[in-house]
């Protein structure tokens, strides 16, 4: 647990009208546990549909243009299984990244302390302290009743986001698309129609990794298929006409090369961000580091789960944080 000074800087609004808890409307009754998370953003939904369309297009070309017409059945079966498995894992990772709340569920019991008093303004020191163990930022919870229920310790401060009227824990930033504060927010990705945060970063990393792998695999198969067609008659190496085959292969080659470069770069930046325990926004804003420094291996286990297992590569395995919570703060 890391003790923090009460005078550190935060991106908070200091206008009086934003600092009055009476202005906050209590949040609506939370939905049942397991309620699906989905961002209703037109651009994000369109990008997600395009992502699935491009993967399915690659599936079509690989299967019906290159593998099924091939006379080498062993080659077709092996590559077909590998490509379809990677494509399935990529789409499953995409769904998990898109439909998972980027912040972990946190209840009022995550804020503990002794004593209770309420400040005139939320950017002033209060008689208490806030501790959020899991990092969720419930929308509209900066009400007088909720803050009084925190039983805060003397000489500490709490912060309020003026946009979503929420108590803002450390390492949280407001997303204008999700319309809420996201703890450990790396960025908002329209391709997964969601923010990349502490609870879905694993699935986003797996998505970029599997897309890069199927892109590389598709490029290799396109290269072999072109060589095969040049050596034999073009009418025998595909069930489509030669011009149609060439166009489909060129489009797949362009798609594969573009996504291989893009997802490889994203995968590298995400792994670097995890190892350094510094999100993309924190790096961009050059924010002062106010949290405990851990080893790269501990940071990896904080995102992918503890202990190390094959579940790290599975989008169906929910990360298990183990006994230790790596994100504990007293503000």
Question: Could you list the active site residues?
Answer: 189
Phi/psi for 207 (5° steps) reads -60, -50
The structure tokens 């990008």 sit at: 47
DSSP string, 244-298: HHHHHHHHHHHHHHHHHHHHHHHHHHHHHHHHHT--HHHHHHTPPP-S----HHH
The structure tokens listed for 217 are 């695999």
What's the CA gap between 211 and 262, in Å, rounded? 10
On the question of a cis peptide bond just before residue 52, with omega within 30 degrees of 0, the verdict is no
**302 neighbors 129 (Cβ within 8 angstroms):** no
Tell me the C-alpha to C-alpha distance, in Å, between residue 113 and each of 9, 149, 170.
Answer: 23, 10, 17
Alpha helices by DSSP H, 41-136: 42-60, 73-99
- Nearest of 162, 67, 141, 151 to residue 111 by alpha carbon: 151
The structure tokens listed for 209 are 């990794």
Q: How far apart are the first and last CA of the chain?
A: 11
Phi/psi for 213 (5° steps) reads -70, -45
DSSP H or E run through 216: helix 201-231
Number of Cβ within a 10 Å radius of residue 137: 23
CA dihedral 293→295→301→302, nearest 10 degrees, is 0
Tell me the C-alpha to C-alpha distance, in Å, between residue 208 and each of 38, 56, 178, 262, 271.
Answer: 20, 16, 21, 9, 11
């Amino acid at each position: 647990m890391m003790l923090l000074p009460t005078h550190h800087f935060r991106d908070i609004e200091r206008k009086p009208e934003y600092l009055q808890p009476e202005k906050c409307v209590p949040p609506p009754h939370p939905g049942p546990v397991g309620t699906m998370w989905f961002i209703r953003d037109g651009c994000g939904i369109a990008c997600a549909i395009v992502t699935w369309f491009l993967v399915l297009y690659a599936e079509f070309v690989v299967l019906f243009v290159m593998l099924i017409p091939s006379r080498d059945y062993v080659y077709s079966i092996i590559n077909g299984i590998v490509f379809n498995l990677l494509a399935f894992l990529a789409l499953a990772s995409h769904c998990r990244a898109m439909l998972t709340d980027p912040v972990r569920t946190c209840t009022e019991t995550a804020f503990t302390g002794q004593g209770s008093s309420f400040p005139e303004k939320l950017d002033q020191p209060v008689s208490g302290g806030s501790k959020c163990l899991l990092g969720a930022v419930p929308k509209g919870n900066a009400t007088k009743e909720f803050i009084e229920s925190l039983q805060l310790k003397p000489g500490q401060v709490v912060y309020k986001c003026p946009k979503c009227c929420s108590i803002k824990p450390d390492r949280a930033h407001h997303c204008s698309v999700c319309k809420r504060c996201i703890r450990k927010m790396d960025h908002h990705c329209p391709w997964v129609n969601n923010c990349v945060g502490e609870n879905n970063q694993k699935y986003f990393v797996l998505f970029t990794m599997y897309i890069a792998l199927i892109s590389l695999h598709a490029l290799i198969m396109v290269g072999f298929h072109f060589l095969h067609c040049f050596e034999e008659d073009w009418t025998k190496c595909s069930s489509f006409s030669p011009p149609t085959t060439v166009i489909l292969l060129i489009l797949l080659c362009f798609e594969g090369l573009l996504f291989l470069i893009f997802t490889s770069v994203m995968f590298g930046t995400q792994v670097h961000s995890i190892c350094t325990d510094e999100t993309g926004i924190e790096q961009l804003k050059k924010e002062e580091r106010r949290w405990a420094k851990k080893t790269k291996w501990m940071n990896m286990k904080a995102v992918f789960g503890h202990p190390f297992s094959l579940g790290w590569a599975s989008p169906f395995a929910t990360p298990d944080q183990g006994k230790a919570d790596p994100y504990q703060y007293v503000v």
